[in-house]
Structure 1
Amino acid sequence: MVTSRGLPNHQALAQLAQQFPELEISSVEACLTFLDTTAEVHQAMEAHFARYNLSMGKFTLLIQLFAASEKGLTPSEFAERANVTRATITGLLDGLEREDLVKRQPYPQDRRKLTIILTNKGRELITQMLPDHFCRTTNMMSNLTATEKQTFIKLLSKLSAGTSAMRDI
């Protein structure tokens, strides 16, 4: 009744659909496969970032700072871009600062605010890891053709548009 990856197989879903007519088998199969694959990708990414003593969250902040160049970003800009709370960002920044990868400094136009910038050590780490990161990302996506990658992006956008169905009351 379950696949080798622990997902209910088509037969198991068909049996459930007899009891729950709302169950549309292809939708549930697609969702379960997506969730399973997402978990696998997430585990692979975490293992990759661990090679550099980073988490996905810390990497996200470092790459944003790297792209922002010398001007840096405020904690609220990070939170907005990552769609997380300021408290989450503060915890990540505290860890990155302890590791001497980022530095907090007063915001130029308002000394009550902070700007976060990369330290030399942080810039060196990102510069060192990005070639490996981009190669691994390319290899992970190598089973898809260029057309499939574009289709995948479009499909994920469509899926994202439907996520409110799970959130809304």
Structure 2
Amino acid sequence: MTNRNDPYVLDEQVGFLLRLASQRHMALFMERTGASLTPTQFSTLYRLREASEPVSQNALGRMVGMDAATTKGVVARLLSRDLIRVEKDNEDRRRYTLFITDIGRQLLDTVLPAMHDISEATLEPLTPLERDQFLRLLKRLI
């Protein structure tokens, strides 16, 4: 733990280190998926595919950890590529629900093998025990 009286060292700050680790992961993601999806688009499609019931745009944003503006943009881009579709909710006509399309499912099936490789490559510098600890600690932070 750093003391407030110690000099500030950027290379030892959690936010700085998390950003660098995230940039490394993003570079691996873009390289290995051919940039067919962004990580947020992938997570969005994945959550829609695993949903057992219709999902509203608001709920989808919460499931992926996005704010309303980001969710709206991601949904618009996925809709424009026919990867998802939107329907009026049968019970609440003011609400719209989102569904993954067959094209979206096919794209997910195409990139899923790379997703395992990306996670493996991101964690490659760590031992198996360190990987488990790191993931467990990250989950505690969120």
TM-score range, shorter chain: 0.7 to 0.9
Asked whether the 8 Å contact 1:72–1:118 carries over to 2, the reply is no
In the alignment, the residues of structure 2 paired with residue 30 and residue 88 of structure 1 have an alpha-carbon distance, to the nearest angstrom, of 27
Structure 1 runs not aligned, ≥5 long = 1-16, 162-169
Q: Any idea what the Cα deviations from partners look like across 1:87-134, whole Å, max 9, x if unmatched? A: 221111111111110000111321211110011111111112112222
Question: 1:86 and 1:122, CA in 2 relative to 1: closer, same or farther beyond 3 A?
Answer: same
Per the alignment, residue 45 of structure 2 pairs with: 62
Per the alignment, residue 135 of structure 1 pairs with: 117
**What is the alpha-carbon root mean square deviation over aligned residues?**
2.7
Asked whether the 8 Å contact 1:102–1:117 carries over to 2, the reply is yes
Name the stretch that deviates more: 40-49 or 73-82.
Answer: 40-49
Larger radius of gyration: 1
Q: Percent identity?
A: 21
* Partner SS for 2:51: helix
**TM-score normalised to structure 1 length:** 0.68
Per the alignment, residue 108 of structure 1 pairs with: 90
In the alignment, the residues of structure 2 paired with residue 95 and residue 157 of structure 1 have an alpha-carbon distance, to the nearest angstrom, of 29
**TM-score normalised to structure 2 length:** 0.79
Structure 2 runs not aligned, ≥5 long = none
Aligned length: 139
Question: 1:72 and 1:48, CA in 2 relative to 1: closer, same or farther beyond 3 A?
Answer: farther
In the alignment, the residues of structure 2 paired with residue 102 and residue 134 of structure 1 have an alpha-carbon distance, to the nearest angstrom, of 23
